[in-house]
Amino acid sequence: MLKADNVTLGYGGRPVVHDVSVEVTEGGVGLIGESGSGKTTVARALLGLIKPMSGAITYGTRDLNALGRADRAAFRGQVQPVFQDGSEALDPRMRIGSSIAEALDAHHRLDRAARDARITELLESVGLDPALAERRPHQLSGGQRQRAVIARALAVEPDILVLDEPTSALDVTVQARVLDLLASLASSRGLTYFLITHNLAVVDRLCRTSQVLFAGRVVEAGPTRTLLTRPAHPYTAALRDAVPKIGGAPPKAVGKVEAAPATEGCAFQRRCPLATDVCRTVRPVAREVAGRNVACHRAEEVVGGQISGAQGG
């Protein structure tokens, strides 16, 4: 339904994401990478907030960036963002109930009684006491605020949620509960997720397929479980090893993070303990290896366990 085809994205004419293709399909898609990899830029493009420098983003059969005003409003009703913490989505001056009512009013015509009933139902659906409708965002805990953001996104009955690190601002226990909620909403409401995160364990809960982004390029893509259990790219292996569980810290120690991506050959070479001469001169092209696409000259050896992945820096 929502698709990016070979998009190059950037700011001020400078590309930061190169030739990325994503198809947001049933079962969910995860985009994994550390801070600065370009994943938020891809999410912004899929939300129609930035236009691709090349390639196309389509919603159904139509170019997202050529939608008229009415179609764009319909798109916003069907594809909703949920950001890292509630502060972007919830006006700090508004009560939670009013924030949800605002989203409802933008897409539905309801009388006051029906609107109040819907707010109650939405708060209950995300496990919140409806009495919290009277509170303001700062009077809620981090977990309650993120549930309120999800309730607000659900108010318009979307098909797709674009989740940007939806649990990384939460403590471990609350994080697990919000993930449980998202997993149950996916099945009960037929929601599809496009999830961006640094954490392979989080994506494993919510997305059937995943892509790993390094320095603005997809280095490995395939079934999430395959990537998690038998990574074929040293960067995926390092992410997996750096963040083994839900609640792990961001993967600051994946290779020598201070090393800038190389512009010739493989971008990951300066952080990869497996780099050889060919890695320094020839950019690896994505190819199929053991049930996924991977851009690494030594993918067969990595997936076969003959050599281990990148080590901590």
Residues found near ligand SF4 in the complex (CB under 6 A): 233-234, 266, 268-269, 272, 274-275, 279, 284, 296-298
The HSE-up count of residue 54 (CA atoms within 13 Å, CB side) is: 10
Shortest reach from residue 302's CB to ligand SF4, in Å:
7
Is 217 within 8 Å of 39 (Cβ atoms)? no
What the block records as the tokens of 265 is 């050959």
Shortest reach from residue 269's CB to ligand SF4, in Å:
4
Is 299 within 8 Å of 288 (Cβ atoms)? no
Shortest reach from residue 159's CB to ligand SF4, in Å:
36
Q: Which C-beta is closer to ligand SF4: that of 114 or that of 307?
A: 307
Q: Which C-beta is closer to ligand SF4: that of 52 or that of 284?
A: 284
Shortest reach from residue 202's CB to ligand SF4, in Å:
23
Q: Which C-beta is closer to ligand SF4: that of 180 or that of 300?
A: 300
Shortest reach from residue 280's CB to ligand SF4, in Å:
8
Shortest reach from residue 32's CB to ligand SF4, in Å:
15
Q: Which C-beta is closer to ligand SF4: that of 88 or that of 264?
A: 264
Q: Which C-beta is closer to ligand SF4: that of 128 or that of 221?
A: 221
C-alpha triplet 167, 168, 171: angle, nearest 5°:
80
Is 223 within 8 Å of 290 (Cβ atoms)? no
Shortest reach from residue 210's CB to ligand SF4, in Å:
17
Paired strand residues for 163: 82, 195
CA torsion sign for 169, 171, 176, 180 is negative
Specify burial of residue 258 (Cβ count, 10 A radius: 0-12, 13-18, 19+).
Answer: exposed
Q: Which C-beta is closer to ligand SF4: that of 192 or that of 269?
A: 269
What the block records as the tokens of 165 is 């690190």
CA distance 284 to 222: 17
Query: Which has the closest alpha carbon to 2: 53, 42, 46?
Result: 46
Q: Which C-beta is closer to ligand SF4: that of 182 or that of 299?
A: 299
SS3 content of the chain, % helix, strand, coil (to 5): 40, 20, 40
One-letter amino acid identity for 172? V
Query: Which has the closest alpha carbon to 234: 259, 204, 268, 192?
Result: 268
